[in-house]
């Protein structure tokens, strides 16, 4: 299923995560409404394709020995 990919950095002093990027990842399945592979001629009124994203994939890109901007 299509999902979001969140890129985060972690502040070690407070433990908070800060989002630096948010990307949509296409699953490539024709029965997923959010996918580019979903057929354009699928009738909206009777379309039973999945219309939701799964939980986002959280990727910590780096950690800093500091507090996050909210805690500073």
Domain spans, the chain: 3-64
pTM of the model: 0.74
The alpha helices in 1-72, defined as continuous H runs, are: none
Q: Residue 7 corresponds to which tokens in the numbers above?
A: 């890129």
Residue with tokens 């500091």: 66
Sequence-ordered strand ranges (E) for 12-56 = 17-25
Predicted pLDDT of residue 72? 87
pLDDT tens string for the chain (72 positions)?
Answer: 899 999 999 999 999 999 999 999 999 999 999 999 999 999 888 889 988 888 999 999 999 999 999 998
């Amino acid at each position: 299923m299509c999902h979001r990919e969140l890129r985060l950095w972690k502040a070690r002093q407070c433990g908070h995560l800060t989002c630096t990027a948010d990307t949509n990842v296409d699953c490539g399945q024709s029965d997923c409404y959010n996918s580019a592979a979903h057929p354009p001629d699928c009738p909206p009124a009777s379309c039973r394709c999945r219309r939701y994203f799964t939980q986002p994939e959280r990727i910590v890109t780096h950690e800093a020995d500091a507090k996050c901007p909210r805690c500073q």
